[in-house]
Amino acid sequence: MRLLITGIICLLAAAIQAQNRDIALKAYFDSISVHHLYDGNIVLAENGHKVYAFSGGYANYATKQRNTIASRFNLASISKVFTATAILQLKDKKQLRLEDPVARYLPAFPFPGITIRHLLTHTSGLPDLELYEETVKQYPDSVITNAAVLPLLRQWNKGLYFTPGDQFRYCNTNFTLLALILERITGSTFPVYLKKYIFKPAGMTDTYVAVYGSSNFQDSLRVKQQVKPAFYDSVYTDAVQVMRYRYSEYNNQASIGPSNVVTTVDDMIKFDNAYFNGKLLKQSTIEEAITPLKLNNGKVYTEHMDTMLGEGTGQYGLGWDIFIQPGYGKGVGHGGFKFGLATFYYHQLERKQVIIAYTNGNSRFGENVTSCFYILNHRPPMPLYFKMSVVRAYALALTTFDANHAACMLHLYKADTSHYYFSTWEMNMLGYDFLYQSAAQKHQQWSLETFKLNTFLDPGNFNVYDSYGEALLEAGYREDAIRMYRKSLELNPTSPDGLKAMKKLGLL
């Protein structure tokens, strides 16, 4: 009887704790919704079951099409998890070994010391997107596809960045090559293989590989990558149409293997369940995939955690990010980023908690996903910030009226700390956006005014002086620019930008 009573008490306590967690999640996301703090979708799961789902903002600001749970997002680099899974399936079928040289499957590959394992762990030493720079300079409207990679690697005359296995250096080229290897071994296209051996077994009916030039690349349910082109802009624009992002978001939009798996939050939960329930790989292979990488010197590669904030360290396995967090143990997943888009997938191994988060507009992404993790584990979320940016308000005043009015308003905004926050970094970014991104007649004058004010607002910061010096030099005020660079180096004698500028001016 005593054991029965104790069991009932434990069940009641667990139910109350779960109810309190549900209340905390609802309160957090209600605040986000009311204040329009998140564009995108978030789903939380535990023990394979959905705990909470949130959808907010617009899939397309231009048409006012809202995000829904059915909205499809480009996973960006989370796609690498799928590519790694496909390669490890071939390993399970004994169609390849991870120690095999890449050249065994791709005879045109020019670096004989690189293995499949090096590709999976980003330890190859290969060039990343810089591989395509010369081609894009020569043909600015070109869109690089997987077919271009091997010919361009054969033309690459700068060699590897390091001996394979010596260092970790994140590189999309690795996963493009893995997709090519898979196609060579199976005789299937990469999209068809993933559909047959991963998406279908996992029950992922709303998932596909977006192939440039095909009809699915223009899927109406796929959200837009949305950015504000410059810091002074208030309107979101499709990132592909913004010149400053053209190289990464236009010229490099076609690569499959590193990116371009498109899916929903619900389908990612299905993938997670299938993967960790052993439907896609042998259990021993799953363990190998989420084992931290060791470099040639025998040390485990360790870095900061990706996206997740707070205490903890990050490592890398075979296409998986690994999270080691004090008090919570080991988690695995992956982050993804494109301009106007961020994605995050996290699976806590012991507690079987899952976070799937996609954003394509406004968010404080790292804080949002970390808060989800905290609430799942009965901790308070990180504080939500409702304050407006002083710098954005200043930019509007400067471009709408004049410098005197903007300066007055800046002081008033800074004093109103209940509603506004000020950031020197934002002020610096605004100055550069005026200098290099604006086509307005007064853009140079606005840039000088912004950088000048920043030197008074943060006089102990060396960076504000070399930024002001750069703008002065662009405007033809050479002597004053030199004075600002000297002030910057007085505060920080090792400032790279300051030293580079003074050398260019012939003064060092």
Q: Are the CB atoms for 134 and 150 separated by under 8 Å? A: no
| 408-436 pLDDT tens trace | 999 999 999 999 999 999 999 999 999 99
Count CB neighbours of 445 within 10 A.
15
Q: Which tokens is 25 given?
A: 């999640």
Q: Which tokens is 383 given?
A: 């504080």
User: Which one, of 415, 446, 422, 453, lies nearest residue 432 by Cα?
Assistant: 446
| 341-381 pLDDT tens trace | 999 999 999 999 999 999 998 899 999 999 999 999 999 99
For residue 13, pLDDT beyond 80: no
**pLDDT at residue 12, rounded to an integer:** 44
**pLDDT at residue 18, rounded to an integer:** 65
pTM: 0.88
Tell me how far apart the alpha carbons of residues 47 and 30 are, in angstroms, rounded to a whole number.
Answer: 25
Q: What's the average model confidence in pLDDT over 198-204?
A: 98
Q: Which tokens is 97 given?
A: 């070994």
For residue 8, pLDDT beyond 60: no
Tell me how far apart the alpha carbons of residues 198 and 259 are, in angstroms, rounded to a whole number.
Answer: 16
User: What percent of the chain clears pLDDT 70, i.e. is strictly above it?
Assistant: 96
Residue 212: C-alpha distances to residues 149, 180, 256, 363 (Å): 16, 16, 9, 28
**pLDDT at residue 15, rounded to an integer:** 53
**pLDDT at residue 407, rounded to an integer:** 95
| 296-348 pLDDT tens trace | 999 999 999 999 999 899 999 999 999 999 999 999 999 999 999 999 999 99
Q: What's the average model confidence in pLDDT over 48-75?
A: 94
Q: What's the average model confidence in pLDDT over 12-33?
A: 81
Q: How confident is the model at residue 505 (pLDDT cuts 50, 70, 90)?
A: confident
For residue 108, pLDDT beyond 80: yes
Q: What's the average model confidence in pLDDT over 476-498?
A: 93
| 228-257 pLDDT tens trace | 888 888 888 899 888 889 999 999 999 999
Single-letter amino acid, residue 151: P
**pLDDT at residue 2, rounded to an integer:** 55
For residue 168, pLDDT beyond 90: yes
Q: What's the average model confidence in pLDDT over 114-129?
A: 98
**pLDDT at residue 11, rounded to an integer:** 43
| 445-458 pLDDT tens trace | 999 999 999 999 99
Q: Are the CB atoms for 261 and 79 separated by under 8 Å? A: yes
**pLDDT at residue 3, rounded to an integer:** 52
**pLDDT at residue 259, rounded to an integer:** 97
Q: What's the average model confidence in pLDDT over 109-133?
A: 97
Tell me how far apart the alpha carbons of residues 25 and 32 are, in angstroms, rounded to a whole number.
Answer: 11
Q: How confident is the model at residue 385 (pLDDT cuts 50, 70, 90)?
A: confident
Q: How confident is the model at residue 193 (pLDDT cuts 50, 70, 90)?
A: very high
327: left (phi over 0), alpha (psi -120 to 50) or beta: left
**pLDDT at residue 10, rounded to an integer:** 44
Q: What's the average model confidence in pLDDT over 101-127?
A: 97
First to last CA, the chain: 86
Q: Are strands 226-227 and 73-74 parallel, antiparallel or unpaired?
A: unpaired
In terms of DSSP H, where are the helices of 93-243? 116-120, 133-138, 149-155, 172-186, 190-194, 200-202
Least confident span in 13-22, 196-205, 411-420: 13-22
**Helix 79-92 and helix 172-186, axial crossing angle in degrees, nearest 10:** 40
CA contacts within 13 A on the Cβ side of 305: 22
Q: How confident is the model at residue 216 (pLDDT cuts 50, 70, 90)?
A: confident
Tell me how far apart the alpha carbons of residues 7 and 397 are, in angstroms, rounded to a whole number.
Answer: 64
Q: Are the CB atoms for 264 and 459 separated by under 8 Å? A: no
**Domains (range + CATH), the chain:** 74-376 (3.40.710.10), 388-504 (1.25.40.10)
**pLDDT at residue 244, rounded to an integer:** 86
